[in-house]
Structures are given as structure tokens and as C-alpha cells.
Amino acid sequence: MHTEPLRVLAAMSGGVDSAVAAARAAEAGHDVTGVHLALSSNPQSFRTGARGCCTLEDSRDARRAADVIGIPFYVWDLAERFREDVVDDFVAEYAAGRTPNPCLRCNEKIKFAALLDRARALGFDAVCTGHYARVVELPDGSRELHRSADPAKDQSYVLGVLDEDQLAHSLFPLGDTPKEEVRAEAERRGLAVARKPDSHDICFIADGDTRAFLAERLGTEKGEIVDTEGNVLGEHEGAYAFTVGQRKGLRLGRPAADGKPRFVLDVSVVDNRVTVGPAEELDVNLLTGIKPRWCGSAPAAGSAGRYGAQLRAHGAEIPVSAELSADGGELTVRLESPARGIAPGQAVVLYDGTRVVGSATIASTGRTASPAPA
């Protein structure tokens, strides 16, 4: 718990959460400066309305909120860094047949790396955001990341890439507050964004059409859609546009023999082939994670432990056992109960109660005869 006043840089997206977070930081006595991140070199091309955090409208909303709060406000151009670390990474991951989480990558590379590094270089003590999560300071001065008090809005999953040093310079003033209370507080404070809808989807895809966005950058190449026995059921224009667990947009010519819907089971960019099958074929109970990052001290290399695991931004927590390889670079996760439609490229985030232990990028999934021991 920070008690003395800090120099705080408040990242203001133009939404209600970041505006109230900045207001709370200022009200707590901190010396707060607001900053809006310009993440597009051509913001008119990004979606308008309250669909993302990259529009001219959002920049203006953030500036108006800062004026109401009474804090200085700046716009920082991080468009090139965002393109390299988030957009290009997103395209490259899909090109390799994986399904990335760009919000998690943005938190890792932009908001809590590029932004925090620049803030500290300028003499700021901490970065403040409107994320729904809690940083808990222990008696020895170390920090832990915990779930928010409002489970429906908890965003600790996309913050699972933060390390202890980053947590020591992060403020999440909304972690103990339900979303509706935040909106009511925004109205009381006279913030015009009080009822602005939450952003959804991917901020840098203007119309929400991921397939068209990827086709424009990766081109098209006809390939086969097959069942698990290799029978050709249809064709597509690029395997990269599909993700494991997908049901819509397959455009198959004939229904399955059993009449049940079919889902994407595998995406092979090497031979440009998409394999589909019944929903039960999506069940996995074994994950391999790479590039682990720890929110605090790392587990001992070669050690195993029991945790809760979250596999999607708004997914339920699943009991698992997880083992870190001897070199500390790979995480083997065994699920007590099968999870459906988990794709390589997504993140697995481990929890101990409400505490975030760390995260890893899923490299592969599989099924074993016996799940993790109960």
C-alpha cells in the first residue's frame, strides 16, 4: 500500500475506467499527469465510437476527463512500437498457425514496458491504469498481483505477464470496486465518459473482421478443409485465418453424417490445411507452455505444484498440476478436467487462490489417458 505521495503517470485510454483511476490517484494525494497513448499512425483508420482505445474520439475523451480532474495531459506517440510489438506480432503468430492475445501482448510490451520505462526515465514513480486487478504489498516490501474484487470484470489474466519489478511501479485503483460503482462515481465526478460503452474486440482491426485484416497482410492461398480421416469437405483461402475451436465461417458444402456441427480441430500452415471434427475432439487435458513469466519469485526449476489455471481472458479457473522444466524455460500443465478449444499461442495463467503466480504462452496441447491427480 503506497502511503506517501508519488509522481504518477496515469494512462488514459478515453474510457471510464482509466478516467476514474486517474481521478482516484489524484484524490489520494499523488502528483498525477495524464497521458493518452497514440497507437496508430493514422487513427482515422481505426474504429470510431467506443470500440477500442486507438481513435481520435478516445484521445479527445481522455483530454476532457483530464481537464475535469484538473491534471496535466499529454499524448505520447507509441504507434511504431505498437505496430512492431503488437500488430506485427499478431500477424506473425496467425501466419504460424497460432492464436495470439494482443491485449496481453500490449500490456507486456507497451503499457508496462515502453510506457513504464519512459515514465521512470522522466522521474515518475508509478504508472496508473484502469485495470481491474489488485497489487498487494507484503510486509517485506515485495508485491503480489491478485484478482479484482469484481470477478465479472477481473483483468488479472491479461496482466499475468508482469514481473515483480513492474508491479512495484504499477497502481490499479479500481481493483476493489465493482464496475457499476465505477460508472456511478464517474457521473458524480462529472466525467462525460461515465456511460461510454466498454471497448471490445481488437482495437487495431477497424471493422472487427480479423480474416480480412489478415488476408490483406498475408495474401490468400486456396487450401483444403478436411475431416479427421482426410476426406475433403471444402476449401478456404488461407489456413492462418482459422483458429482451433472455431465453428462459424467454415462454409462446408455438406453436413456431417451425424448432423452435429463441426469445429476446427487443427490448423496446419505448412500444408495450408484445416482439419475439422466434432466438439468432443477439442477436449485437451495437457498443455505445454513456453516463455514463462512470473509475478514474483519463480518456482524452482524442475519443481511441480498445484494451481488454478485460466486459459482465456474470461474463462473459468481449472485445477491443474504444473511442472517447470529443469532449465526453467518450459511449463507442463496437466488439467484435472478437460478444456475445450484451447489453441497454441494463447496464454495459460496460473493462480494460487486469488494470487497470480505467472503465465506462459501455450506451445502445444494434447490428451492423455489420465488427467492430473485430484
Question: In which region does residue 263 sit, left (phi positive, over 0), alpha (psi from -120 to 50) or beta (all else)?
Answer: beta
DSSP of 244-274 = TT--TT---SS--TT----EEEEEETTTTEE
Is 120 in a helix, a strand, or coil?
helix
Contacts with 164 (C-beta within 8 Å, 6 or more apart), sequence order: 142, 143, 294, 295, 296, 297
Q: Is 139 exposed, middle or buried (0-12, 13-18, 19+ CB in 10 A)?
A: exposed
Is 236 in a helix, a strand, or coil?
strand
Count CB-CB contacts under 10 A for residue 245. Answer: 16
Please, what is the end-to-end C-alpha distance for the chain in angstroms?
36
For residue 2, give the nearest of 239, 155, 173 by alpha carbon: 173
Q: From the candidates 54, 106, 128, 295, which is the catalytic residue? A: 106
Is 5 in a helix, a strand, or coil?
coil
User: Is 54 a known active-site residue?
Assistant: no
* Cα 88 to chain centroid, rounded: 16
Report DSSP state, residue 43. Answer: G
229-234, long-range: CB within 8 Å, 24+ apart, which pairs? 233/262, 233/276
Q: From the candidates 53, 103, 128, 203, which is the catalytic residue? A: 203
What number of CA atoms fall less than 13 Å from residue 183's CA on the CB side? Answer: 7
User: Is 203 a known active-site residue?
Assistant: yes
Instruction: Tell me the β-bridge partners of 371.
Output: none
Rg value, the chain, Cα: 22
For residue 90, give the nearest of 213, 183, 186 by alpha carbon: 213
What number of CA atoms fall less than 13 Å from residue 127's CA on the CB side? Answer: 25
Q: So which residues are the catalytic ones?
A: 106, 203
